[in-house]
Structures are given as C-alpha cells and as structure tokens.
Structure 1
Amino acid sequence: MKLLPTKLLFFLFFVSTISAQNLYESGYFIDNNNNRKECLIKRVPWKNNPTEFEWKRTISSNSKTENIENIKEFGVGQDYIFKRYIMEFDLRGDDVANSTKSENPRLRIRKVFLRVILQSEASLFLYSENGVNRFFYTARNVAYPELLVYKTYYVPDLKKKVGKKVIPKSNTQFKEQLQQHINCGNQDVEDVTHTIRDLKKYFIDYNHCKGAKIKYTVKKKINQTKIGLIGSLDFVSFSHPSEFNVSQTILYDDVMAPKFGFYLETFIPFYKVDLSFFLESTYRSFSTTQSNAFGPTEPAKIDFKSINVALAPRFHIYLSSNFEVFFEGGLSIDNDLGTKSVFNDNIEKVTVDYFYGGGFGVGRFKLGYRIYTDKNIAKSDKLSVTLSNSELTTSSLYLSVNLSKHNRK
C-alpha cells in the first residue's frame, strides 16, 4: 500500500504525457477557394516550416491531412499562423562551414508556408529549415512579402597560408532595407541583428511609432507566478480500532467538510504541455460522531482542525486558448490546530499523505477532484495497537480562482 501513491503518480504523469503527444488544439485553415474552416489541428514541434498538417472536425473524429497545395493559410491556437507564398530566397547556412565565397545569395523559388511573427501595418514573417532562418516583411508600400537579405560568406585570410584560414563576413543588406522601408522616428538599424528577437522588437517599435494596431504577434512563453483563492468540499470518513476490543472498529459518520485558503502557482512552460508547481495553504475543520456505538457507552466524537499545506506539480493540456484539462499529484501535510477527541493526547501534530487528481479550467477558474491516501492522525504509547491504527480517508471537490492576470503565455 505504501507504494500505491508513487505508482499512481507515475501512471498519472505517464498518461498525461502520452496524451500530450497526440494533442489537437483549436485552429483553422483557409483553402484555395477562400473557405475558412474551424477545426482541431495537431500541434507538432515545427522547427522547420511545415508543408502539411493533420486536423480533425472533433476530438473523436478521424484525422485528415491537408498540404500546401490545397491550403492558403492555417493557424493553431495562439502560437502559430502560417500563410502560403511563392518566395525567392537562399538557404545557404548561416555559419562559415556551410557558406560560400560569394557575398550575394543564390536565390531559388520555393512555395512555402511562412510563419507570421508579427502582423500590423508592417508585418514580419519567418521561414526556418535545418537551423537556417530567413525573414520577410510587408509594409504600406510592399504588399507581397520581400526577403530581408542576409548571407554569411567568407574571404581568404591573406596573412595566412592559402586555404588554411578564412575570415567570416556577413551581407547585412537587410539593414539598408529597414532603413529605407521600415523606419520611423529615425530608428537605429545598426545594432539590429538578424534574429527573431531583434527584428520583432524593431517591427513593434515601428508600428507603435506609426500608431498602427498590432493584430498578432508571437509571444514568448515565460515563467509566471500566480496567486489565487481555493475553496473545496472534503468528503471525510474516519475510523479506528476499539480501545477495549481490537477486533472491533469504531466507525464515525461520514461528513462533508468545507476547506478554504489560497495558493501560489509557478508555471514552467513546455511545448504542448505547461508544467506548474503549486503551493496551497487551506484551513479545514470537521466534527463527527461514532456511528456504531457498542452498549450504553456514550458515542465517541472528534473535532478536527488543521492547516493543510499541499505541494505538487500540475500538468496543463490546452484544448483551446481558454480551456484546459489538467492532472496533478503530490504531497499533503496537515498541521494540527487543537483537535479534540477521546484520545486528545495522542493526536499527531503533523501528518502526511498523498493525493492525485485532475480537472478542467476555463479562464480564471479551475474545477478539480482529488483523492487522498488514507492516513493515521493518532499516536499512542499506551494504546499503540488501537489508536495508532486510526484511518482518515478524504476525497475533495474544489474550485479555485486565479486573482492574477489571466494569460498563459
């Protein structure tokens, strides 16, 4: 039985991880006839720009595949928007080992899905393949995306023996393009590097300067810490062996006990699944009376009071930008606040058990259910055979509300 919590937690996390590998997220696509279809799209780690994608009508329907020949645009959740274009660009590597002596790119025409990095009056696009990034832009006078020219090349080091040493160089024509077409308020282009971070910031500054609304931008996932309130209804049962006859079990009435408090939750985002760790502190109390009194003796009674602290990881799987399912499991610690019972002197000051569960969240709210492992809350030197075998069993239905700004990115 002692191994049960660990086995259950490993199983829970294994199931959630496997589920995440086949995660379909809310999305859409637009076909060649400009028909837009809302659907669920399989989210995969697109390190290279895709040429096809899998989608479903509903979570239970069969998957289908669409490709770049039939689709003009598609989007997945809040993280990906791809648009189809026929572009001309060079994919020579951005390191010296894969470069050439030519300063000019060797352009090649390709039909590709460009990823939208920022959409506004001036928009930024990205194409990635095998670690090589190429950026494109549109502006007020540039309706179709144009390549922001960048190329790594090399020249021989004449100070060394021929063929033994080269000097890396970069064609940074993209800075001239920015200066000419995407510049507001004398923006400085000299320090802009050919990276998504610098170019996105530059385009954001430009659009803000122009007073243009930013319709969409890729947001970097960052660690977040949230604070919130939690209230729950605990379903509690309690029993222990009889002090006078160890073969008899003293049973108490099952009770429903309110519990309330606050929590802190820190997010560590990953691809597909967000992982968080939460610390929860709640006050709980309940009172229950023996239900199977033997003979004329007065029924036993217990008034339980404690501060409960829970610490656990939680896996979040987002089915849309505003809806999630989650799985959790961890450690629960009760700190006694003066529980009264027939064995007052034998109450453990600190007791530990484990829990596992899950639920779903909508916006700021989460509704979840937990099952706790049985635990002994009493100790006894004189009656070690009886009261030390008490058994407190709990399950819990809870509702929590996030008081921080609701933003999972």
Structure 2
Amino acid sequence: MKIICLLVCFITCAAQAQTNFVNGYFIDNQNIRTDCLIKDQDWKNNPTSFTYKLDRESQVETATIEDVQEFGISDYSKYIRQTVLIDRSSEEIKEMSSTRAPENNKETLFLMVLVEGAANLYGYQDGNLRRFFFSTQQNDSIRQLVFKSFKIDKYEIGTNQQYKQQIKVELPCEKITDKQIENLGYNKKDLLKLFNIYNQCGKEESDISTDQPSVYQRKSRNLFKLGLRVGLGHDMVAVKSEVSYYEPMETDYKITLRLGAELEFILPFWNEKVSLILEPNYKSFQSSNLGESGMEVDYSFIEIPLGVRYNFYLTPSSTIFLNAQYAVVPINRGNIHYKNQYTDRKMKPEHHNYIVAGLGVKIKRFTMEARIGTQRDVSIPWESEYKSTNIILGYHLF
C-alpha cells in the first residue's frame, strides 16, 4: 500500500507538471492573426472554444467560436468557422428518420480542415454524428457530402449516398474511376485518399513533387501494442466459517509468480493518452501449515483483466500510467484443506471476479507496475478472501 501511495503522489505531481500548450495561432473577427500557445486537447468532437496563452508565462485565456474565425495547432490541426447546412439525422435505429432527403439546419461550426488544394475536405464530429464537407476552386461554398440512413419500413433500412454523385460531378478526374466512387466509403480514410488523387489530377510529375496539397493530420502511430508480463505477488488466503467452533484461519503471506501477456489498443484521440488493455495471465499460490490444526492451500488460476489505462507523457520515451481493470477468472483449480479437532475438510476454490488498480512507469519498451486488487471470495460454502499485491515487469514486443 505504501508503494501505491507514493506512486499516486508521483503521478499527481507529474500530471500537474505536464504541459499541453503547443505552438499555434488564431485569426479573430478583425482578420488579425495572433501567434500563441494553444492547449492541444486532440478533440474527439469538434470544439466550440479553446484555451491559449500568449507565451509560456502568460495567463490562460479562452477563445470561442464567436470571437475566432480560424485557429490551428502546429502543422497538423486546423479549424475554420463556417455557417453551413448540416443534417444531424441519427444512425441509431430507434431514432432514425423515415425521410430519404437530408433534414438540414443552418449552424455555425468549427470545421476541421482535412486537406486543402484544388478541392478542400472538412470534417465534423459530435458524439456518434460524423459529417464531411467540401469545396472546390470552381465553387468555394462549403457543402455537406450527403450520407444518410433512413427507415423504408419496419424491417428495412435504406441509405442516401448522394455524396458519391456529388464527387462524380464536382471532382471530375481521369484518375478517379466509377468503380472507385462506387466503392468509396463515407469515412475519413477513403475520402482523404480520393481528394488527394483529385488534387494531383492533371499535374505533371515535376509539379506533383513541388506542389503538394496541404494535409492536416497527426503522424500515424501503431495503435496496437503487444507485450510480455512477469510479476511477483505478495498473497494470502483466509477462511471463516459461520460455525463458531471452526476458528478462522489464514495463511502466511507468500511470494507468488505470475506470467502473462498484454494487448493494448491506444484510442486515436485525446492525444493518445487513453488506451484499452487486455492482460491474460497465469498465477499459482501454495501454502502448507496443516499439522493437527491448520490450513493448506494449493491454488492456481488464469485471469483476464480488462480495463482502461491513462498515460501521463513525461518525455517521448517515458510515461507514467494509471490502470483500472475488471478481472475475470474463467479457469481455476486446486484445494483448500482446513483441519482442526472438529473437522478435516477440503474445499474446491471458486474464484470470483474482482477489480484491480495499478500505477506504473514505462521507459522505451520496458514497464514496471505496482498493482493491488480488491479482496475476493475464493471458497464455497465458507466465507473467504484472497488478498494480493503485485509488482509486474513488462516488455513491449511492438
């Protein structure tokens, strides 16, 4: 527990010391550009405001969509204020419209600029709502690329894929085939690829190398990580019967070995600070103190903790992280042997699921984590508990 408390203090200090303010700019309603430091929140949903500082020592200020017509962060994020027609029809079946045509509302939004060139592509997200917009050199008004699901009847759902026709008509290019448009998905990856093809359409090879369209996106990272995990536990088992003459007993604390692997998926937003983790592992516990009166435990199990990790980035190669997981125990085996002058009884362990929390540090590919779990029942029909604190070392293969 002391280790956990020390790591909590360390993480709190590290989190407060972190800075998310990076080089950026904004343009106000008077067309005045201000270079500043903008808090990079890697928005999942398009923002309506942002916080900034004029320099490292300045106070934090807030700018809103009413005050700013454009802002950007470094060379990978740019937003522009536009008043557009947007269809917010739901893709959820319970809330789905029965109208095929888009049901537009006029709104003023910060649109994320995805690519700029002969044709510009913009993105907007609000929860589960995703919409894309575009403009061209021939028509600089920003319009929505129309995609909508709708109910035909109680059992059938149709889709309005007008965006394919819009692209075919307004982005003519000999390098874009009808089959490409037919297979075009309404997603960022497919649309970016097609708009980049169009923006290079008709150019000579020498021009392509010197006149590239502006693409705004973060450098791609491998969002999946696989690692090996080995750890030492400090564990004990205690049992208690409701019958008064069966005295409570507990084992001594024992050092146990755990072996496992960890699969991590980093969520591609919030500056990649949050990830989902799955960590199957094997553990075994033995303790023998039987004699005339005592308890012997021979117990092993496979558990699968599933949970969330939050990362505090200290440097590009070092991270402090906090884990919260729900551990499922699908396989366990062994015996709990309880003996005194009144009984000699063997019970089969039945491990219950439980919650674990961990705090750790990662340096390059290596990790070290201190982890503690909630007390959980391991024997039936008697009341029992299994206590465990672990130090876990890990190595990421990729």
Alignment partner, residue 73 of structure 1: 71
Q: By how many angstroms is 1:74 displaced?
A: 3.4
Where do residues 273-352 of structure 1 align in structure 2 (5 Å cutoff)?
276=276, 278=278, 280-287=280-287, 302=296, 304-312=298-306, 314-317=307-310, 325-332=322-329, 335-336=332-333, 346-348=346-348, 350-352=350-352
User: What is the RMSD of the two structures over their aligned residues, measured on CA atoms?
Assistant: 5.9
Q: By how many angstroms is 1:254 displaced?
A: 2.0
Alignment partner, residue 53 of structure 1: 50
Determine helix, strand or coil for the equivalent of 2:252: coil
- Determine the C-alpha separation between the residues in 2 that align with 1:179 and 1:189: 10
Q: By how many angstroms is 1:126 displaced?
A: 0.8
Q: Any gaps of 5 or more consecutive residues in structure 1?
A: 1-23, 100-107, 153-167, 291-296, 380-387
1:30 aligns with 2:28: no
Q: Deviations 1:292-345 (Å, cap 9, x if unpaired)?
A: xxxxx7895746451322354x13456669776442223335623578897997
Alignment partner, residue 191 of structure 2: 199
Where do residues 112-151 of structure 1 align in structure 2 (5 Å cutoff)?
113-118=110-115, 124-126=120-122, 128=124, 133-136=132-135, 146=140
Determine helix, strand or coil for the equivalent of 1:369: strand
**What's the % identity of the aligned pairs?**
15
Where do residues 256-275 of structure 1 align in structure 2 (5 Å cutoff)?
256-263=255-262
Alignment partner, residue 8 of structure 1: none
- Determine the C-alpha separation between the residues in 2 that align with 1:353 and 1:250: 23
Q: Deviations 1:116-141 (Å, cap 9, x if unpaired)?
A: 3247x878431659987421469xxx
- Determine the C-alpha separation between the residues in 2 that align with 1:170 and 1:125: 12
Alignment partner, residue 9 of structure 2: none
Alignment partner, residue 230 of structure 2: 231
Relative to structure 1, the CA distance from residue 276 to residue 173 in structure 2 (aligned partners, 3 Å threshold; closer, same or farther) is closer
Determine helix, strand or coil for the equivalent of 1:201: helix
Counterpart of 2:195, as a letter, is F
Task: Give the conservation status (yes or no) of the 8 Å contact 2:236–2:386.
Answer: yes
- Determine the C-alpha separation between the residues in 2 that align with 1:328 and 1:146: 50
Relative to structure 1, the CA distance from residue 275 to residue 45 in structure 2 (aligned partners, 3 Å threshold; closer, same or farther) is same
Alignment partner, residue 394 of structure 1: 388
Relative to structure 1, the CA distance from residue 326 to residue 64 in structure 2 (aligned partners, 3 Å threshold; closer, same or farther) is farther
Corresponding pairs, count: 320
Q: By how many angstroms is 1:178 displaced?
A: 3.5
- Determine the C-alpha separation between the residues in 1 that align with 2:79 and 2:260: 47
Task: Give the conservation status (yes or no) of the 8 Å contact 2:231–2:258.
Answer: yes
Where do residues 376-395 of structure 1 align in structure 2 (5 Å cutoff)?
376-377=378-379, 388=382, 391-395=385-389
Counterpart of 2:122, as a letter, is L
The structure 1 residue matched to 2:377, chosen from 367, 375, 378, is 375
Counterpart of 2:191, as a letter, is L
- Determine the C-alpha separation between the residues in 2 that align with 1:67 and 1:215: 25
Q: By how many angstroms is 1:236 displaced?
A: 1.3
Relative to structure 1, the CA distance from residue 213 to residue 261 in structure 2 (aligned partners, 3 Å threshold; closer, same or farther) is farther
Relative to structure 1, the CA distance from residue 368 to residue 115 in structure 2 (aligned partners, 3 Å threshold; closer, same or farther) is farther
Task: Give the conservation status (yes or no) of the 8 Å contact 2:50–2:62.
Answer: yes
Task: Give the conservation status (yes or no) of the 8 Å contact 2:124–2:131.
Answer: yes
Q: By how many angstroms is 1:30 displaced?
A: 1.8
Q: Any gaps of 5 or more consecutive residues in structure 2?
A: 1-17, 28-32, 89-99, 147-160
- Determine the C-alpha separation between the residues in 1 that align with 2:144 and 2:376: 64
Alignment partner, residue 78 of structure 2: 82
Q: By how many angstroms is 1:44 displaced?
A: 6.1
Counterpart of 2:326, as a letter, is G
Task: Give the conservation status (yes or no) of the 8 Å contact 2:227–2:395.
Answer: yes
- Determine the C-alpha separation between the residues in 1 that align with 2:301 and 2:162: 65
Relative to structure 1, the CA distance from residue 355 to residue 213 in structure 2 (aligned partners, 3 Å threshold; closer, same or farther) is same
Larger radius of gyration: 1
Task: Give the conservation status (yes or no) of the 8 Å contact 2:40–2:73.
Answer: no
- Determine the C-alpha separation between the residues in 1 that align with 2:296 and 2:213: 63
